[in-house]
Amino acid sequence: MPASLRRCASGLAFGLTACALPVSAATASPNPDAFDLAAAFAPAPVPGGAIVTGVFTEASSPTQLGTFTDGALTVGFADGIVLSTGDVGALGGASPLSVGFAGTPSSDTEALLAQIPGLGSVYADPVRLSLAVQPDLPNNYVNFSFGYQTSEISPADRFGLFVNGQYRGLLAGQPVDQAHPWLAAAVPDIGYTQALYGGGNPLNPPAFVLSVAVPSPGASFTLDLVLADVFGDGIDTAVFLGNFTASARPMGYLAIPESRAWPLVASGGVAAFAWWHRRRRQA
């Protein structure tokens, strides 16, 4: 389905007919500049109390990183940054998006990818964002809006979140990949056939808040987000990030190496309701 269209429910028993209404699709612009990406993801000062003191990026192609706007309905939040195993400028094109660069990771990035559960150890088209974060003393967590969309049908792309080089990427006890139980059909389709929905409920937005425990309140730490192809450089996956904050308590689902997840609370829950309400009014 074209990115500019969304599905409507159909049910002859209620006198409804199938329909497709235009919506505003997200648009993305490639931008490999590390400082621009950090500013779009975690603008200074970080709400709640933290600063980003350093930033580093790695990619096989400069088109694998960028910023996006107008994402409220199609990404799940309005604007932020996007990392992709393909070309972020193709966002909104016909699915499945598939661009390969035949790139390989650095030894440091490969060591991170090797920590992620899953089969395969030959990685292609890696993309990495690394932030040095200094949280204020009262804050035990950092939080951010997170969206994951893919056209892969098997766990052939690898995503990981790391704190000080240690994997913290389990969500509801599972690594974030094409086998995650929260994955469902992406509606509307902006180039990816599946999206990750909070709690596995496709009535929720295709994005939600992730919370990450800081190693020590007040102490600087490194937060890495890494995405790569495994078993080839074909069908693409994208990760959407934004609204970076710090807090004393978690604001969303915890991303940790344990089999548990937290419900969305506070701003995450409000954002989820607002997105659902807009979607219902336009149906």
User: In the structure, what pLDDT confidence band is assigned to residue 24 with cuts at 50, 70 and 90?
Assistant: low
Q: Is residue 276 predicted with pLDDT exceeding 50?
A: no
What proportion of the chain, given as a percentage, has pLDDT over 90?
A: 69
Per-residue model confidence (pLDDT) at position 275: 39
Q: Is residue 130 predicted with pLDDT exceeding 60?
A: yes
Give the 3-state secondary structure of residue 12: helix
Q: Name every residue whose Cβ is closer than 8 Å to that of residue 137 and which is 6 or more positions away in sequence.
A: 217, 218
Q: Quick check: 9 and 208 in contact, CB under 8 A?
A: no
Count the residues in the chain. 283
Going by C-alpha positions, the residue among 9, 4, 2 that lies closest to residue 283 is 9
Q: Is residue 19 predicted with pLDDT exceeding 60?
A: no
Q: Is residue 58 predicted with pLDDT exceeding 70?
A: yes
Q: Is residue 266 predicted with pLDDT exceeding 60?
A: no
Q: Report pLDDT digits (tens) over 77-94.
A: 999 999 999 999 999 888
Q: Name every residue whose Cβ is closer than 8 Å to that of residue 198 and which is 6 or more positions away in sequence.
A: 182, 204, 205, 207, 208, 253, 264, 272
What is the DSSP secondary structure assignment for residue 202, as one 8-state letter?
T
Per-domain residue ranges of the chain: 23-282
Q: Report pLDDT digits (tens) over 90-108.
A: 998 888 888 889 899 999 9
CA separation (Å) from 242 to 79, 108, 131? Answer: 7, 25, 13
Per-residue model confidence (pLDDT) at position 235: 86
Query: Which segment of 138-142, 149-153, 208-212, 247-251 scores lowest on mean pLDDT?
Result: 149-153
Average confidence score pLDDT of the chain: 84
